Structure 1
Amino acid sequence: MTNNDILKKLRVALQLRDDEIVDILALVDFRISKSEIGAFCRKEGHPKYRECGDQVLRNFLNGLVLHLRGPRDK
């Protein structure tokens, strides 16, 4: 299973739109455009397909924790 598959499955399971994913990534100070998110969600043979790197997926998962749970108490 690739990082793209994981991102797509989480996107569908949590019913997230591209702009919501951009906002989630912004929670961990990771900037990315909506078009890049769309490129990650395309089929592998598509001309605008792009592989989702480990850094993008890691930051998305960390941002998702903040989005769902809220910031950590001090």
Structure 2
Amino acid sequence: MSNNDIFKKLRVALQLRDDEIVAILKLVDFNISKAELGAFFRSEDHPNYKPCGDQILRNFLNGLVIHLRGPRPEKPRSEKKVDK
């Protein structure tokens, strides 16, 4: 199964539109246009088909986590105690 297939299946399963996917990718500072995104969802024999790279899928998954769960909360810094 290719990255394009995984991306398509996630898009359908989560009922995401192109503009929502672009917004999810922006959450991780990854900018992509709707035209570039559409090339990933075309069939392999289409002249404008583009294979989805690992970086794009990884950034989408990281953005999806932020989209669904919210941003990661800051961990409180614990002060180290020094025994005298």
Identity among equivalent positions (%) equals 77
Q: Which has the larger radius of gyration?
A: 2
Deviation sequence 1:15-37 (CA, Å, 0-9, x none): 00111000000000000000111
Aligned alpha-carbon RMSD (Å): 0.4
Which structure 2 segments of 5+ residues have no match? 75-84
> How far apart, CA to CA, are the structure 2 residues paired with 1:16 and 1:24?
10
Match of 2:82 in 1: none
Letter matched to residue 12 of structure 2:
V
- The one-letter code matched in structure 1 to 2:49 is Y
Higher RCO (CA 8 Å, separation ≥ 6 residues): 1
Partner of 1:19: 19
Q: Map 1:34-49 onto structure 2 (within 5 A).
A: 34-49=34-49
CA distance in 1, matches of 2:39, 2:50: 5
Structure-2 separation of matches of 1:64 and 1:35? 20
Task: Report the structure, 1 or 2, having the larger helix content.
Answer: 1
User: What are the ranges of 5 or more consecutive residues in structure 1 without an aligned counterpart?
Assistant: none
Matched residue type, 1:25: L
Number of aligned residue pairs: 74
Q: Return the TM-score normalized by structure 2.
A: 0.87
What TM-score, normalized to structure 1? 0.98
Q: Which runs of 4+ in 1 moved over 3 A?
A: none
